[in-house]
Amino acid sequence: VIALDMLKSVLLFWIGTVIVVATGLASNPDIWLGGILLPWCAVVMCAIGHCYSIYLKGQGGKAVSCYLGAAAFTSWLNFIVCVIVFFPMFLPKKVMSISTIVTGAFVTLTHWVVAILIRFVPASIGFFSIASWSFGGFPVSFFFNFIYFFFTCFYIP
């Protein structure tokens, strides 16, 4: 179930990214910050729909699975952080809540560091442009920017 919860936010992110790149929004910085905002807004809407499901009469799950899915499957760097932090905490005691909270905090911290490095150390853009699952196929700003920096602050479990 958690994998499906993660998958729905990942699909929305990638569909939004493909729409932005295919329609040329990425080349127009005046519209939705060059299209960067659209995929992340789709992930936020997915999380809101997950928490307040119309099928469950307003009672849904926690948004942490949507957040970790979007974080882990947009960047292999975040995926590695998720695996390294989540499984050693979860496997011994099988406590999902604390494992996801700590993993979410570590992923958020990692993304803050990456966003700050990209902003203030221009030489790091070369490495981080291939740190996404698109391996540089999409602009680095889709995966590591201050928009995501904001959304991770919003999403902290």
Asked if residue 26 has pLDDT above 60, the reply is: yes
Tokens read off for 81: 């952080």
Task: Write down the pLDDT at residue 118.
Answer: 75
Which DSSP string do the residues of 42-57 spell out, in sequence order? HHHHHHHHHHS-TTTT
Task: Write down the pLDDT at residue 153.
Answer: 66
Q: For the chain, what is the mean pLDDT?
A: 78
pTM of the model: 0.71
61-106 confidence digits (pLDDT tens): 778 878 888 888 877 888 888 889 989 988 998 888 888 888 888 8
| Alpha-carbon span 96 to 1, nearest angstrom | 13
Asked if residue 154 has pLDDT above 70, the reply is: no
CA atoms within 13 A on the CB side of 155: 33
| Alpha-carbon span 151 to 40, nearest angstrom | 8
| Alpha-carbon span 104 to 115, nearest angstrom | 16
